[in-house]
Amino acid sequence: MGEILNGNLIRDQIKAECKPRVIQMVAKCGRAPGLAVVLVGDNPASAVYVRNKTKTAEELGIHHETITRDASLSTHELLAIIAELNARADIDGILVQLPLPPQIDAQKALLAVAPEKDVDGFHPCNVGLLSTGRPGLRPCTPSGVIEILKRSGISIAGKDAVVVGRSDIVGKPMAMLLLQENATVTVCHSRTHDLPKVCRGAEILVAAIGRAAMIDENYIRAGAVVIDVGMNTVRTHEEAERIFDASRLADFDKRGSLLVGDVKPGDMARLASAYTPVPGGVGPLTIAMLMRNTIEAAERRG
């Protein structure tokens, strides 16, 4: 069985490092870092994520505001909210919670956030800074993966890394961050020829494709480090039987659903030298890195 990489433990380390920075900023500037979250509509998962973000901000002493609007909001109205937040001196970070209702142009909304307040790291200016290795706000989930690897004593330099998934939010920035750590990186996607073979070449395998337990023993090299970024909900007994062992099936029958990543958990635990569980692996790091980005944005603005 491989070593379980405990995301909760690393999250707590990062939060502990953030607290004195907040205190120092209050002493220096007379105010705490400020984070504004814009939540449009009534997506239950989004509401949970926002509550967790604001709870963590509260714990760290970060000033936080949640601006909620109903699902009928227009793109123009959302852009006006963002413009107001861009102009506020007490707000250092702006996060527009995705997904947005279909009538809203999400790309316009994300582009409207001032790059220096873009704590999600999605703005093209911040993407450009990342791609050229310059300081800037980095996407939270990929940054969290790097923290997990480094703080777990897993060397990256010189390793063959494979990223499964090419999204703008995880896959692409993940590849760039691994390159900056001197890994040799392959990015895979739906058109990759013989995907299992490519994945078996990975010493570090990052799964971020958004398909429940798609990556099984045929994709995992024995002794590889496996980072499972996926977060999927299993709702049918048939799917649960494909993915889980008997003990987890009992949990499924009791709860009616279970979370699973993009990697089949039993195969990952058996073959990997180290791996992130779902839940409790990469997920906790995303909010911790958001808080760190907010503090960094505040420190840059002074």
Q: Which are the catalytic amino acids?
A: 53, 97, 120
Quote the radius of gyration of the chain (alpha carbons, Å): 20
Alpha-carbon span 63 to 34, nearest angstrom: 5
In whole angstroms, how far apart are CA 142 and each of 15, 158, 179, 285? Answer: 17, 19, 12, 9
**Alpha-carbon dihedral sign for residues 153, 177, 229, 40:** positive
Q: How many residues are recorded in the chain?
A: 302
In whole angstroms, how far apart are CA 17 and each of 25, 56, 218? Answer: 13, 13, 40
Strand partners, 37: 66, 95
Alpha-carbon span 141 to 70, nearest angstrom: 27
